[in-house]
Amino acid sequence: MRWCRQSPRVIAPFEIECLDHFTRDLIKTCSDEKGDFVGFLYAGSVALVLGAILSIVLPNNKLRIGVNLIAQLLSCLLVLRVTIPVLFGADAVIGYLPWSFPVEQIDFEINAIGAFFLTFSLPMTFLGSIYAVGYLGHSIEGKRHVGVHFALLTMVQFSYLIIYTVQNAFAFLVGWEIAALSAWLLVIWEHRNQKIRFAGFNYLISTHLSLLFLVAAFTVVHGVTNSFQFANFVPFFQAPSMQRSIAFVLLLTSFGLKSAFFPFHTWLPRAHSAAPAHVSALMSGVIHKAGLFGMLKMIFMMGEPELWMGWVLIAASAMSAFMGILYTLVQRDIKRLLGYSSTENVGIVGMGFGVGCLGLSLHNPTMAALGFGGGLLHILNHALFKCLLFYGAGSVYRFTHTIDLEKMGGLLKVMRWTGPLFLLGSLASAALPPFNAFVSEFLIYAGLFQSTPGLMLGQMALPLFAALLAFVGGLSAMSITRAFGLMFLGVPRDPEHAGRNSHENVWMIVPMVLHLVGILAVGLAPVWALRLVQHPTGMLLGDKNITSEKWFGLLPTSLLQSVTTVTIVFVSVFAVLLIARFLILPKSNRRHVTWGCGYTLPNSRMQYSGSSFSFPMVAVFRDILTFWTKEDLPVGVFPKDGSYSTNCIDSVEHSTFDFLKRGEGLIKLGLARIPESMGFSFSIGFVGLIILVTLVLFK
Amino acid sequence: MNIILIIFQLAIVAIGPIYMIGLINRVKSLWAGRRGPRLNQSWFDLLRLLQKTPVYSQVTSWVFPIAPIVILATTVTASMFVPLVPGFAPYSFSGDFVAFLYLLGLGKVFLMLGALDTGSAFEGMGASREATYAALAEPVIMLTLGTLILASGQMTFSELVIPQTDTITSISIRIALAAVMFIVLLIETSRVPADDPTTHLELTMVHEVMILDHSGPELAIVQYAAGIKMVLLAGVISALLNPFSFDHLPLLAMVVSVTLIAFVAILVGLTESLTARLRFRAIPLFTFAAFLISLICLVIVHSSQGSIQ
């Protein structure tokens, strides 16, 4: 095995006046010849694989986890040492690995886009592993071999190193498969439960459907280029052709399945509600970002997509954002709710990418920068707040032993850490200022309001998409209010799940706090956050060494400086009012029962329920959603107890299963018509053989 | 001049709510054949509430006393971007209207959280309705602003409301969009026909039922913030209709703005006197009507621009 560097590491001109000393020093040290980048990568991968092996073979759980966490941290640091300079403008790290037939040589390259994904994926997965120590606490004490679980987390990390770096279709597929299988095994951790096995199976099929489309697309490309190297794909992707359009649609479907775009999302809510909280968090926030990475890679290879591609991307993503958020409104299961919210957020990211594609096709660099910059930043933001929310949901689950929203309530008073963290995370997820997602959605809005000659009717469509995004924002505010209100406010709806004897686990709190720090950092210093996506976006714009002057020149003047100002003003007004309220105005501790409009015997079950909260909105969209109603209404003069329950099921999943069921019937019907005689089968087989031979001979 | 305008804007935002509510109530009283309360009655109401000792529900947590302050802070911050006079806002930047909308959204979320914190079914009901109607109004505002951006080619809130041309099309589009914003105002500030602030039955309220358990200073703060929001939306309408802009005739523009805001208040009072509250089921349709008007304006703006090019 031989590793080598092919390009000299020269740092791009990087004259940014306000660049932090830390970053500057970092890039300087990394530009010295001492540090061998490729060696770091190699060491990182070996650390991961060793960590995985050791966490399986070592004798007891604590030892296994300890060694595993050290290995993960080590590899994280090693790889970040390579990716951070690249992310901030150093040259791409290029190397190759000789391999046997049929690949022959695996090229790999850490460019700005790959560096961006690696830089957040690895540390977040490490934090997820730390969270797992708390979440799986009782299993660690018990007899179960928890090392396997951690080994799988390590393999997920390893798969990032492959997916985000390799430049070879075969190796890419291998990485894709490692990620899929490890994620599947992580989902079915509680495999004794039949429902969880089913959810895992559902995920396995979906992720392999995605693989199928990916293989199909690679086959199409290979048919033209006769190569599996991405470098040789580039000319194919740059010239418009029939095959390119087919490959685009196939790849979009594959990546859409991977990232759970609507209508390919059905596996996601099931898998997320079945998996342990940290696995859901990592799948939703980190692992499935690989699909979006794939889209970016495809767009990068194209250089200049056709106009319709941008529109397809925007339309599909807008539908995904809308349907995803609509489904969050009707969920009872908090983890399913968060899963649907992922579908919404990848939709928002996709809208950003679509705007970026339009910008590329119409040669409007500002529009492209806003779209891709906003989309990329939203990937990071989504990872930050979605992991926080899933960790919060896991913490609540360990506390109350339920994930049913309708059984919770009043947790804010007993969960002193999780409550506020979950509140801030959910405000971030509704893209409200001064949190992180506001920054990225702001960029996407700005992109949607750009006007460019050549858009024609599209100029009219973009404000409509902006209106849709605003609607998604309103719905998501409604959804998070509902979720947070049901879980944390009011009084416990079910005394069994009030969590009287539970306490919060510090292993679970620390990763949440760190994610909150990330959320606030992006929200309060958006200009800094934009630096993170400067070089990846520059790459997509075809300017790898984009300078800061150019970058900030592309975005509308001092756009995010203003967002910072707004945040500062808001926070200071809030602080002044808060102080004024509690110093000047009268305050008291007088308490009384909640006004029940005259009713004197309220109980906790009389609080507003989740389904009633979302009812007015659901009533508007009743035709889109599918409801199953089970009713046993009281009848007669002396009725017995009645019951009534409604359940919103996923209409895509429902109709898919319905179709499959009916399809089976149709096939059966068709088969029944085929005569079952020996002579018939023989003649059909013979005719088929003759056709086949003819095709082969006279091709 | 800027300083004067900032002071003007602050003054309107600060005392506007009191007189707007006073004016609405006066119009309603006159229409009903009564003399009605003084124009500055709500000033005394607020003062009285601010001096009272609050009583909290036993159920509430720290979210409840924080929520009104967040609401007021968001509204005050959002008032920075609103052009009460066309062409001028105390602070404006490209895309500031997004910040305006989302800041108000943050306020709404806290209003709803405060309501849910009491664990009351009635307040939950109010929160649910508020969330629904606010979410439905959101795309209407965004589309209206999108149409104005397309018409004016400007990206800041203060500049996109400036009339660019004096053609009949341009003027009629502005009037139509002002009508859209008027519908949005009725929904967002819980006036008839979207909601009835004077109803006495908790089951039929939207805004008032959410603040059933607020008392003393908390109640005063929430009511005042709601008033500011009304002034801001009325200010947007006045800026849309104002033929003068800050660049040409600042003083006249200021006077016309104040007059137009008062005119909006009178119009709200007349609407309240003349119409009954809609059934809740009809409010989405009401919003959709506003959306359609915006959409038609968008099509007209786009086609008229196409003919120019």
Residues in A 573-592 with any Cβ partner in B closer than 8 A: 573-574, 577-578, 581, 585-592
A473/B105 touch (CB, cutoff 8 Å), yes or no: yes
| pLDDT bucket at A11, cuts 50 / 70 / 90 | very low
**Can you give the pLDDT at residue B272?**
92
Of A490, A570, A593, the CB nearest to B73: A570
| Count of CA atoms in the C-beta half-sphere (13 A) of B171 | 6
With residue A96 as reference, give the H or E element that holds it: strand A93-98
**Can you give the pLDDT at residue A695?**
87
Of B108, B136, B212, the CB nearest to A477: B108
Highest mean pLDDT among A455-459, A488-492, A548-552, B157-161: A488-492
| pLDDT bucket at A560, cuts 50 / 70 / 90 | low
- Cα A80 from Cα A77, distance rounded (Å): 5
Our CA-based measurement puts residue B269 at a distance from the nearest CA of chain A, in whole angstroms, of 27
Predicted confidence (pLDDT) per residue in A146-175, tens digit: 888 999 999 999 999 999 998 888 889 999
For chain A, the average pLDDT equals 86
Question: Taking CB atoms and an 8 Å cutoff, what residues of chain A touch B122?
Answer: 595-597
Strand-pair partners of A87: none
At A646 the three-state DSSP class reads strand
Mean pLDDT of A483-504: 87
Question: Taking CB atoms and an 8 Å cutoff, what residues of chain A touch B50?
Answer: 585
Residues in B 85-124 with any Cβ partner in A closer than 8 A: 91, 93-96, 98-99, 101-103, 105-106, 108-109, 112-113, 116-124
Q: Which of A204-213, A578-587, B124-133 has the lowest mean pLDDT?
A: A578-587
**Residue A595: count of CB within 10 angstroms of its CB:** 17
Residue B54: CB partners within 8 Å, gap ≥ 6? A586, A587, A588, A590, B214, B215, B216, B217, B218, B219
Long-range contacts of A134-142 (CB under 8 A, 24+ apart): A134/A398, A134/A505, A134/A506, A134/A507, A134/A508, A135/A276, A135/A277, A135/A278, A135/A394, A135/A398, A135/A505, A135/A507, A135/A508, A136/A276, A137/A505, A137/A507, A139/A61, A140/A61, A140/A62, A140/A65, A141/A61
**Can you give the pLDDT at residue A101?**
67
- Summarize chain A as % helix, strand, coil (round to 5): 70, 5, 25
**Residue A77: count of CB within 10 angstroms of its CB:** 15
Mean pLDDT of A351-357: 94
Cβ pair A546, A538 in contact under 8 A: yes
Q: What is the phi/psi pair of residue A209, to 5°?
A: -60, -40
Strand-pair partners of A649: A626
> Residue B301 CA to chain centroid, in angstroms?
25
- Cα B153 from Cα A173, distance rounded (Å): 47
Give me the amino acid identity at B257: S
The DSSP symbol for A286 reads I
Predicted confidence (pLDDT) per residue in A230-282, tens digit: 888 888 888 888 889 999 999 999 999 999 998 888 888 888 888 999 999 99
Query: Cα angle vertex A585, ends A581, A586, to 5°?
Result: 125
**Can you give the pLDDT at residue A240?**
87
**Can you give the pLDDT at residue A190?**
87
- Cα A403 from Cα A276, distance rounded (Å): 12
Question: Taking CB atoms and an 8 Å cutoff, what residues of chain B touch A607?
Answer: 119-121, 124
Cβ pair B119, A604 in contact under 8 A: yes
- E-state strands within A35-87: none
- Cα B181 from Cα B141, distance rounded (Å): 7
- The answer to whether residue A442 neighbours chain B at the CB level (below 8 Å) is yes
At A587 the three-state DSSP class reads coil
Give the ipTM.
Answer: 0.95
**Can you give the pLDDT at residue A127?**
94
**pLDDT of residue A182 exceeding 90:** yes
Mean pLDDT of A646-658: 84
**pLDDT of residue B309 exceeding 50:** no
| Cα separations in angstroms, B129 against A489, A606, A644, B230 | 18, 18, 23, 19
Predicted confidence (pLDDT) per residue in B53-70, tens digit: 999 998 899 999 999 999
- Cα B262 from Cα A680, distance rounded (Å): 89
Which is it for the CA torsion B169, B172, B176, B181, positive or negative? positive
> Residue A560 CA to chain centroid, in angstroms?
25
A467/B123 touch (CB, cutoff 8 Å), yes or no: no
The two structure tokens encoding residue B244: 């003068």
Predicted confidence (pLDDT) per residue in B227-236, tens digit: 999 999 999 9
**pLDDT of residue B271 exceeding 90:** yes
| A146: nearest Cα among A63, A45, A47 | A63
DSSP-derived pairing of the beta strands B56-57 and A591-592: parallel
- Cα B5 from Cα A489, distance rounded (Å): 43
**Can you give the pLDDT at residue B168?**
85
* Torsion of the alpha carbons at A115, A118, A120 and A124, rounded to the nearest 10: -170
**pLDDT of residue B294 exceeding 90:** yes
Cβ pair B210, B112 in contact under 8 A: yes
Query: Cα angle vertex B125, ends B122, B128, to 5°?
Result: 155
Q: Which of A29-33, A423-427, B17-21, B240-244 has the lowest mean pLDDT?
A: A29-33
Strand-pair partners of A106: A97
B113/A410 touch (CB, cutoff 8 Å), yes or no: no
Q: Which of A102-111, A506-515, A611-620, A683-692 has the lowest mean pLDDT?
A: A102-111
Share of chain A above pLDDT 70, in %: 94
A401 versus A560: which is more confidently predicted? A401
| Cα separations in angstroms, A117 against A79, A120, A122, A354 | 12, 6, 9, 19
Predicted confidence (pLDDT) per residue in B107-148, tens digit: 999 999 999 999 888 899 999 999 999 999 999 999 999 999
Predicted confidence (pLDDT) per residue in A296-307, tens digit: 999 999 888 889
Give me the amino acid identity at A316: A
Share of chain A above pLDDT 90, in %: 41
B131/A570 touch (CB, cutoff 8 Å), yes or no: no
**Can you give the pLDDT at residue A556?**
65
Mean pLDDT of A184-198: 90
Share of chain B above pLDDT 70, in %: 98
- Cα B31 from Cα A605, distance rounded (Å): 45
- Cα A242 from Cα B130, distance rounded (Å): 50
For chain B, the average pLDDT equals 90
Cβ pair A409, A462 in contact under 8 A: no
- Cα B294 from Cα A691, distance rounded (Å): 62
**pLDDT of residue A478 exceeding 80:** yes
Query: Cα angle vertex A198, ends A426, A203, to 5°?
Result: 60
The two structure tokens encoding residue A145: 């071999």
Question: Taking CB atoms and an 8 Å cutoff, what residues of chain B touch A464?
Answer: 143, 146, 295, 298
- Cα A87 from Cα A110, distance rounded (Å): 9
Residues in A 603-632 with any Cβ partner in B closer than 8 A: 604, 606-608, 612-617, 619-620
Burial of A642 (0-12, 13-18, 19+ CB in 10 A): exposed
Mean pLDDT of B61-80: 93
| A373: nearest Cα among A526, A563, A564 | A526
Predicted confidence (pLDDT) per residue in A23-57, tens digit: 555 555 545 444 477 888 888 888 888 988 888 88
Mean pLDDT of A471-500: 91
Mean pLDDT of B262-289: 92
A465 versus A598: which is more confidently predicted? A465
Question: Taking CB atoms and an 8 Å cutoff, what residues of chain A touch B293?
Answer: none
| pLDDT bucket at A7, cuts 50 / 70 / 90 | very low
| Cα separations in angstroms, A639 against A482, A571, A630, B54, B115 | 34, 57, 18, 46, 36
Give Dmax (Cα) for chain B: 65
Predicted confidence (pLDDT) per residue in A90-135, tens digit: 788 888 877 776 667 788 888 889 999 999 999 999 999 999 999 9
Cβ pair A14, A89 in contact under 8 A: yes
**pLDDT of residue A12 exceeding 70:** no
Mean pLDDT of B199-204: 78
| pLDDT bucket at A3, cuts 50 / 70 / 90 | very low
- The predicted model scores a pTM of 0.92
Predicted confidence (pLDDT) per residue in A54-71, tens digit: 888 888 888 888 999 999
The two structure tokens encoding residue A492: 């416990």
- Cα A362 from Cα A356, distance rounded (Å): 10
